[in-house]
Amino acid sequence: MERLIRPYIHFSEVESELRDIFDSGIFTKGKYVEQFRESIRTYTGAKYSFLTTSATTALWVSLKAIGIHAGDEVIVSDFSFPASANVIEDLGAVPVFADVNLDTFNMLPEELERKITQRTKAVMFVDALGNPSGLLAIRDICRKHGLVLIEDAACAFGSSIEGVPCGKIADITCFSFHPRKLLTTGEGGAITTDNPEYARFFDVKLNHGAVFENGIFDFVDYGYNFRLSEIQAALGVKQVAKIDAIIASRSQIRGSYVDRLSKTGFKPQAFDHNVRHNIQSVVFLVPSDFSRNDLMLHLRQKSIESTLGTYCLSGTSYYKNKYMRLQANAHYLQNNTITLPCYDQVNIANVCSAIDGYAAVRRSGSER
């Protein structure tokens, strides 16, 4: 089976750390959590970093940190996993869907400008599939209008713009360490920020509202347990150390796909010249005479895993029925993009041959 991705971590890499954890009996709030947190802070260049149970909880608590309340509007990229909008909806705020660029798959600046109202309190820019292209333009608009910028960088650990890593650009950045990501801890996430006020909020809220003073805990606020375990953190530390090598390998794989599939009419996700894309996913727009769903079925029959790029949030049943604000570009991308396997041992020739076989059958049938 050609999987979409295989984790870049092996038991042998963490065997001694896991033995150390079991021997110590410290499974939470130990040295590996602190090492992982510090490695994220150091890699991104952010002043502060915090670990969470997922990118979803990271996004949710970030909205709490900036004071999002019922009735507020948060403008969000429309081409993303539903978690981006769900956290806004959960707080009683209104997700305002901004359409995206058909090349980069990211929020269009003109769409953002058009949808800002007096009720707009923040903007959530999603690095579609790890691609931060256009983030600086969105940041400039947010600064002009006095809006907080949250970067949903769930897929973007290791990506950068003009040499500045994701995690250092927006007011708050949220990462995911789900198994589909380049860096995985099974489940998990992180928050980075340079803002000391937000950092104080996260420090208390992510630890049940507690502060440690004079040798005891005092609960100065209500809070949550969104902590990562020592075992998860030990996995993360090892992967941060090799993230650049992982990205270099995936970039080569993407290049091989582009060389082969562009001849068949596949159009790859684009990224700006000043962007380092971590190649979280290898995603193409399929040729106009293809059925994306039929192609995915064909690949499954060949034991090749694939999926759509991601979702048009405004087109999902819940948000379509509630807000009726379908965004055309995001809807088109949901229906016409495909994600292909990408990991070190992937058989690119096998994947491309299967696609060529589908193309031959499809086109011969259309010529009859």
232 and 281 share a domain? no
Q: Is residue 201 located within the same domain as residue 252?
A: no
User: Per the structure block, which two tokens stand in for 233?
Assistant: 């953190």
Crossing angle of helices 243-261 and 348-366, in 10° steps, is 30
Q: For residues 200 and 211, is the Cβ–Cβ distance under 8 A? A: no
CA dist., res. 114 & res. 214, Å (int) = 52
Tell me what pLDDT residue 213 has: 83
CATH number at residue 311: 3.90.1150.10
How far is 355 from 295, CA to CA, in rounded Å?
7
pLDDT per position in the chain (368 positions), as tens?
899 999 999 999 999 999 999 999 999 999 999 999 999 999 999 999 999 999 999 999 999 999 999 999 999 999 999 999 999 999 999 999 999 999 999 999 999 999 999 999 999 999 999 999 999 999 999 999 999 999 999 999 999 999 999 999 999 999 999 999 999 999 999 999 999 999 999 999 999 999 988 889 899 999 999 999 999 999 999 999 999 999 999 999 999 999 999 999 999 999 999 999 999 999 999 999 999 999 999 999 999 999 999 999 999 999 999 999 999 999 999 999 999 999 999 999 999 999 999 999 887 765 44
> In angstroms, rounded to a whole number, what is the distance separating the alpha carbons of residues 98 and 122?
13
Q: Decide: 355 and 261 in contact? Cβ < 8 Å.
A: yes
106 plus 225 within the same structural domain: yes
Element (H, E) at 189: strand 189-193
User: In this structure, are 306 and 321 located in the same domain?
Assistant: yes
Of the residues 211, 240, 269, which one is the last residue of a structural domain? 240
Q: Which amino acid is at 281?
A: S
d(CA 230, CA 14): 12
Choose among 209, 187, 180, 224: nearest CA to 55. 187
Residues spanned by the domain of 219: 11-240
Contact by Cβ (8 Å): 21, 231: yes
Residue 97: what residue type? F
Determine the pLDDT at residue 367. 43
**Residues 210 and 255 occupy one common structural domain:** no
Q: What is the pLDDT of residue 212?
A: 85
For residue 166, the domain's CATH number is: 3.40.640.10
**3-state secondary structure (DSSP) of residue 168:** coil
Domain membership flag for residue 367: no
**CB-CB neighbours of 34 under 10 Å:** 14
Split into its structural domains, the chain has a count of 2
Whether residue 214 sits in one domain with residue 111: yes
Asked which of 240, 270, 287 is the last residue of a domain, the reply is 240
Do 247 and 234 lie in a common domain?
no
Of 240, 264, 296, the position where a domain reaches its end is: 240
Task: Confirm whether 5 is domain-assigned.
Answer: no
- Predicted pLDDT of residue 362: 80
Contact 9, 234 (CB under 8 A): no
- C-alpha distances (whole Å) from 239 to each of 14, 134, 177, 228, 245 are 10, 27, 11, 16, 10
Q: 221 and 344, same structural domain?
A: no
Tell me, what amino acid is at 43?
Answer: Y
Distance in angstroms (rounded) separating the CA atoms of residues 259 and 182: 23
pLDDT on residue 365: 66
